Amino acid sequence: MKKKLLSVLLIGTMAVASLAGCGGSGSSTPAGTTDTSEAATAAGAGDGQHSLTVSAWDANFNIPALQAAADDYKANVDPDFELIINEVSGSSDIETAITTAGSAGDYSQLSDIVLFQDHYIQKYVADYPDAWTPVEGADIDWSDFGEEKLSYSTIDGKHYGVPVDNGTCIFAYRTDILEEAGYTLADVTDCTWEKWISIGEDVYNKTGKYLLSMDGDGNDLPYIMLQAEGASQWKDGQPYIAENETMVKCVNIILEAIQKNALYLANSWSDYTDQTLQGDMVAGVMNGNWIIPTIKQVADNSGKWEITNIPTINGGGGYASNGGSSLYITSNCANADLAKDFLAKTFGGSTATYDKALTDGGVITCCISAGQSEIYKQGVEYFNNQPIYTDIVEMGTHVPVVEQNDYHYDCRRLVAAAIINAAQGGASVEDALKDAEEQLRFQMGL
């Protein structure tokens, strides 16, 4: 979920075929099986009364969650129900298929339902409004979801999608390393960035471990830090970077943390995961909670991690979200009422769906009530028996809604480059951010 795969241009007919839905042709992949070939389709929807097709990616994350929902609906609503899952290689496959169908004005080959990244959906609804069927009228208590999560899929006052995975950020710490340096989790909870850098510098001097690392190329820190402050890198649809006082403060905090060895800026995503998260270089991780499976790959560190909130400029504890997706009904769906009912009675709030999605695929619910189940309340051994899943759902309710933009990832890349430029002495913070904003405006055609 974290990294959007780079969009690639597929041959038009192949892109459409890969997401074929009701009435399409080709092979089908019933729920519980996978077909990763490029020619795989989601055809074979049956009589249109008891079956739906869905396109999604990630056999270890989203696919098990969809299977959990299919099993739940079949067991508790419709014993004849079948969900035909079309597993594609990544989110870009779905984006390309929507683009291809929209450009041709023919949506007849799309799946009934598609998984779509939160940061991109508003652009695709705006560009191809005829591709979608809003989920208005679905029996869903929208107040049972955090406002920030719904802000992506609610467009012009209409609900277009149903949330799936929770992108709430965590700050996880190796408590054994903190204790070695004379600190506890309480010292880094609700703290200011100034205090955090002081602790980080001391931890490095005493243990040789950085208190945090981040991928320098795809640096999510500025966005996360801004959102935790209730601020955005956008203002009225325009880039808001160079003259954004909070952005300037956040970048200066990042540079100070690098200079004082509290933060290690990795050279790449693999450097970030392999050498820092799974290696023995850092004592802390701050990112969307989807980073948890990566952390847990080091079995020897079980019981040594705990999570808390994000530091802020003035203290008091901050909350943010990074990544995530929702499910959307396409205009090709022949039975929109069935699709709405399926989504409402599964991802719309079913404890059974979300419990199994968590245990089978690690998908954490965005639904507040589902996060109160016994499964969620259980302590997690790897995190020192802290009930992190209930905690994450609760933390998600505090994430502030900030302005978003379809150029989110372009902005991330350019600000990341500005930070590296400033860190290496190539430019002042002000000049580096001004250059980033100018480039972004050019890309946006402003």
Right CATH number for 12-166+324-372 from 2.60.40.1930, 3.40.50.1950, 3.40.309.10, 3.40.190.10?
3.40.190.10
**DSSP characters for 65-99?**
HHHHHHHHHHHHT-TT-EEEEEEESSHHHHHHHHH
Confidence of residue 42 (pLDDT cuts 50, 70, 90): very low
- CA separation for the pair 95, 101 (Å, rounded): 10
3-state secondary structure at position 155: strand
Which amino acid makes up residue 340? K
pLDDT, residue 40, reads 35
Alpha-helical segments (H) within 208-270: 221-228, 245-259, 269-270
| Residue 240 per-residue DSSP state | -
Q: What is the pLDDT of residues 303-322, one digit of tens each?
A: 999 999 999 999 999 999 99
3-state secondary structure at position 171: strand
Which residues contact residue 52 at a Cβ distance below 8 angstroms, ignoring those fewer than 6 apart?
45, 82, 83, 84, 112, 113, 333, 335, 338, 339, 342
DSSP element (H, E) containing 114: strand 113-117
Ordered by start, the domain boundaries in the chain are 12-166+324-372, 169-320+400-444
- Other residues' Cβ atoms within 10 Å of the Cβ of residue 304: 18
- Identify the residue with better confidence: 24 or 145: 145
3-state secondary structure at position 383: helix
Average pLDDT, stretch 24-44? 35
- CA separation for the pair 374, 32 (Å, rounded): 26
**Of 189, 290, 323, 361, which Cα lies nearest the Cα of 277?**
290
Confidence of residue 60 (pLDDT cuts 50, 70, 90): confident
Confidence of residue 62 (pLDDT cuts 50, 70, 90): very high
Q: What is the pLDDT of residues 253-264, one digit of tens each?
A: 999 999 999 999
**Of 301, 220, 300, which Cα lies nearest the Cα of 266?**
220
Q: What is the pLDDT of residues 240-286, one digit of tens each?
A: 999 999 999 999 999 999 999 999 999 999 999 988 888 889 999 99
End-to-end CA gap in the chain: 30
DSSP element (H, E) containing 56: strand 51-57
Q: Which fold has domain 169-320+400-444?
A: D-Maltodextrin-Binding Protein; domain 2 (3.40.190)
Confidence of residue 48 (pLDDT cuts 50, 70, 90): low
**Of 154, 153, 155, 99, which Cα lies nearest the Cα of 128?**
99
pLDDT, residue 49, reads 85
- Other residues' Cβ atoms within 10 Å of the Cβ of residue 109: 27
- CA separation for the pair 229, 281 (Å, rounded): 28
- CA separation for the pair 444, 446 (Å, rounded): 5
Q: What is the pLDDT of residues 107-125, one digit of tens each?
A: 999 999 999 999 889 989 9
Question: How distant, in Å, are the alpha carbons of 4, 118, 168, 331 from that of 288?
Answer: 14, 13, 5, 31
Average pLDDT across the chain, whole number:
89
pLDDT, residue 406, reads 86
Do 286 and 171 form a contact (C-beta atoms < 8 A)?
yes
3-state secondary structure at position 224: helix
> Are 12-166+324-372 and 169-320+400-444 in the same CATH fold?
yes
Q: What is the pLDDT of residues 350-360, one digit of tens each?
A: 999 999 999 99
